[in-house]
Structure formats: C-alpha cells, structure tokens
A and B are shown apart, each in its own frame.
Chain A
Amino acid sequence: MPEINDRDLIAKLLRATQAGKVSWQNTGTPDQFASSYGGRWTLAVDKSTDQGTDYYYLTITNSQGEEVLRIWDQTDNVLPKLFEQARRHALKVDEAIGDLMKEIGEAEGPEISDEDIPF
C-alpha cells in the first residue's frame, strides 16, 4: 500500500465526505461524529474547546475500541473543514437547506421578467 501522510489522508476524507461516500453520524459525545468502514474500523472526528480555542482531531479505532491512530489539527491540514463537512452530513444540514429552498421557491411563485412590469 502506498504511504500516505496525515494531510493527504484528511484531504481525501474531506473529498469522500463531500461526495457523500462517508456516512458520518452523531455520537453521545458533544462535537464528535463517527463513521464505520471496512467492517472493523471506526473513524471519529472531534472538536474540543479549551480557553476559547478550538482543537480538532481525527481518530481511528478498531472493533475492540482500541485507538489505532490519532491525528491532531495542524496548520497545513484541513481537519476543521472535515469536521464541518462531517457535522453537515450527520445533521443533514444540506437536506435542511434543500427543503428550505424548496419551500421558499414555492412561496415566491414564478419568476417575474421585465415584460411583466407595466411601467
């Protein structure tokens, strides 16, 4: 298997999440979203806040609950973006916005062109 660094891993995960290939879900821990894959691994992306500063980290645990990898947010990775995408996916934010757009569209009625205006 080719070696992959933390930055690339997170970037790939972000793209997979944006493409809807990773199914993130809420957990009982605040600001934590998890997704299981491969029949034996669980990914979790977390945000913790300490003295007004947000910290992000990604963990991979095996089916026994043992943590096998932890990646902290660094200046060159996109972990906060991944967290935000995971949150949007888990909370179905896009669906909520989509439904809202549908409602607003129906309420607004057909678009008005210049010819419809009599002056």
Chain B
Amino acid sequence: MHKPDWVDVLIALLPLPLIILFLLIPEPFQPAARGWIGKNWGNLASVWGLGVSVYVLWVAQGAKTAAKKATEEAEEAAKVAKANARTRGALEDLQVALAASRQVSNHAGVKNWQVVRLKAEEVMESCRIIVNRWEDSTALNDSKNSLNQAITMMRTIAEEASRDTPNLQRIIKTQHGAHDHISAVEGKVQKEQDLRSA
C-alpha cells in the first residue's frame, strides 16, 4: 500500500498538538488538566510510543514487501536476459548449421566428397552444441529430437561420402531431410525470439 509522505511528519509531531490543546484549556479546568497530565504523562507517553511502534512496524513491513518485489523483478529480468541470450546463441548456431548443410548439398553436386564430409561434420557439431545447451530443458524435447535426427542423418552422409563410390542421390535426399529438421527448429527459435522482442 502506498503511504503519503506527510504521514511520517504527522506521526512524529502528534504529541505537539495535544500539548497545545491542553495549554488552551480554559482557566478553571487548567489546574485539574495539568494535575492529570502530571500524574498520567507516563501512560500518555506509552500510548504515543505504542502508536509509533505500530507505525514503524507497518513501514518496515512495507519496506520488506517492496524489497521482496524488487528481488523477484530482478530475478525475472535475469531469467529473461538468460533466455534471450540462449535463444540468440541457438539461432546463430542454427544458422551456421543451415549454411553448412547447404554446402553439403552444393559440394555433393560437384562430387567434392571430402568437403561434403567436413561440412556434414560441421552441421553435426553445431547441432550438438545446441542440444547440449538445451540439455536440461525438457520443454524443448521436440526440437532436440529434430536436431538429433539431423545429427544422425549428417553422420550417415559423412559415412557415405567416405566410401569409394558415394551415392549422390542418397546423400542429397538425406541432406534435404536433415535440412528440413534444422529449418523447423530455426523457425521455432526465431518465432520465440520475435515474441520476446515484441
């Protein structure tokens, strides 16, 4: 609850108007009032002290709640920043994988098998980095499955490219399959990033 600034001043100066009020009591009642104050000043001070204590407690409670809220907001901001960094990193790795995957196809077309093998391994490596980065996130299992499938396909492409007479058609077909998997994951990650930045 928001507390107006003047409340502090009011609480601190509360006894002052009471004293003035007593001083303004008309003459016939003033001695009695003074006598009563003289006898009960301790009680009055206690009541005022209790009021101040309750007020301080209330202020402290408010401060604690505000501190807790600030901590939660800071944690949430840290989580969002971490997720953003993770998404950005994954997107970069996926783009590297897709570029290497395209090169697998291009080099296979000209039967440059050694480069096909190297590029297939590059795709595997990029995909593995992402899968490892997402290791703890079960919510991303579908994307991890797609990338693992792409890794398997690229591994078989690398194996096929190492043979004496690699099968071009099989390599191209498998590359298309792997590329589709990686593209699908890239689309999801891109969408996630767009949603975060919106």
**A interface vs B, CB < 8 Å?**
25-30, 32, 34-42, 44, 61, 63-65
Contact = CB atoms under 8 A, between A and B. Distances in A.
Contacts of A40: 131, 135, 144, 148
28 contacts: A25-B149, A26-B177, A27-B152, A27-B156, A27-B174, A28-B153, A28-B171, A29-B159, A32-B156, A34-B149, A34-B153, A35-B149, A36-B146, A36-B149, A37-B145, A39-B134, A39-B140, A39-B145, A39-B148, A40-B131, A40-B148, A42-B149, A42-B152, A61-B152, A63-B144, A63-B148, A64-B128, A65-B151
B141 A39 contact: yes
Nearest to B141: A39
B138 interface: yes
For the side of the interface on B, what is the size category?
20 to 34
Contacts of B128: 63-64
A26 B169 CA distance: 13
Q: Is the interface of B mostly helix, strand, loop or mixed?
A: helix
B156 A36 contact: no
A42 B147 CA distance: 10
B148 to A, nearest CB: 4
A39 B153 contact: no
Given A38-B141, A39-B141, A39-B144, A28 B157 contact: yes
Contact of A30 (B131, B138, B148, B170): B170
Contacts of A64: 128
Given A29-B160, A38-B141, A39-B144, 11 more contacts: A25-B177, A26-B173, A27-B152, A28-B159, A32-B156, A35-B149, A36-B152, A40-B131, A40-B144, A42-B149, A63-B151
